[in-house]
Structure 1
């Protein structure tokens, strides 16, 4: 039996764009995780599509939210971690000097990709407190969404099978509708695994809708 096609309405009063981890460590060529996701980013035109998505949302004055990933020095004292956490910590991924300082933050791996900064740092985008593993359970993103009256989320960002999928799952559990923008994300491709393909299967089964960037832009423009 085939799954029915997903659907989600878009309304400026209750729909927002949410990006996870639009940061240099994933999306810049010298980023810690770039070599893992490079093939997928290039195949999907992820960077260009993230910019298009933000531009379209801003043109319609649609609310945008960012869920960033930061690690502070004391996070490296954790007593246990899963394999990917170990990799992130050992590589210095998303590292910052601390929550109360911007020292060495600009242009670091934890900083936002330059091409996206005009949209993220415009004074209108809501930048949530950092998530620490993959999902938004421990930051203030869901509180911010609810306080802004958001019920539907257009979701994109990095990485497809990790933070993006974890955010999608928690949003759904919290009663939001979620449409995933499939070519405004990417994931690791390794000899024994295709993380992007794995995420697409779960998005198809779990998300309310799956759209390309162009489809998402059309829906935003007509909202």
Structure 2
């Protein structure tokens, strides 16, 4: 017994998947963050598990909301940075030439992982505006969810202790019920710091339920 209650989670017509940062800089071995996240991504089979959620959503016509991470030239003037935020800026993650400009986007670190594109460009997938630090406070995710009467979400994507956890916290604060697919995410491992292990503790303490991807897929199929 962990001593922590498990409120449970039931998939219904008001439930959607929210996926953060399904992009090359995190998930492609050539991506800017791969040297710090690659071990975790590989051990969790993160890419395969994210794709399994895309696939079951397509098969069941379940909505998926993508909350991506982009930086535009105007963001380079920021004077305030957190530790991992500074790392992302220093290694030029998610950089685009402009908010209205797709020049150089295709195949870049900011672009979506190639194997996800066949799912992302479908009618059941909503691409939200970019979030800029870790949470959805700076994009339209909550608006897009509310406009479709979504009140429950399954969180997944990158990275576990940053964007996934920050999105989880904000969605909880704004009245959503949240579950997490714990192996459809991963995190940076830097020296003595393991972001994935840190996230697992908070996932269990924050979410209504923590699934494996296989468990979530079966639950979605039987909803």
Matched, 1:210 2:210: yes
Deviation at 1:63, TM superposition (A): 0.6
Q: Which residue of 1 aligns with 2:139?
A: 139
| Distance in structure 2 (CA, Å) of the matches to 1:85 and 1:189 | 15
**1:54-65, aligned counterparts within 5 Å?**
54-65=54-65
**1:182-221, aligned counterparts within 5 Å?**
182-221=182-221
Say which is worse superposed, 2-11 or 56-65, in terms of deviation: 2-11
TM-score, length of structure 1 as denominator length: 0.97
SS in 2 for 1:186: coil
Contact 2:58–2:124, Cα closer than 8 Å, also in 1: no
Q: Which residue of 2 aligns with 1:178?
A: 178
Contact 1:155–1:181, Cα closer than 8 Å, also in 2: yes
Matched, 1:51 2:51: yes
**1:10-159, aligned counterparts within 5 Å?**
10-11=11-12, 13-159=13-159
Structure 1 moving runs of 4+ over 2 Å: none
Structure 2: runs of 5+ lacking an equivalent: none
Structure 1: runs of 5+ lacking an equivalent: none
Contact 1:6–1:210, Cα closer than 8 Å, also in 2: no
Number of residue pairs aligned between Structure 1 and Structure 2: 222
Q: CA RMSD in A?
A: 1.0
Deviation at 1:191, TM superposition (A): 2.1
Say which is worse superposed, 169-178 or 76-85, in terms of deviation: 76-85
Deviation at 1:5, TM superposition (A): 2.5
Deviation at 1:72, TM superposition (A): 0.1
Contact 2:161–2:195, Cα closer than 8 Å, also in 1: yes
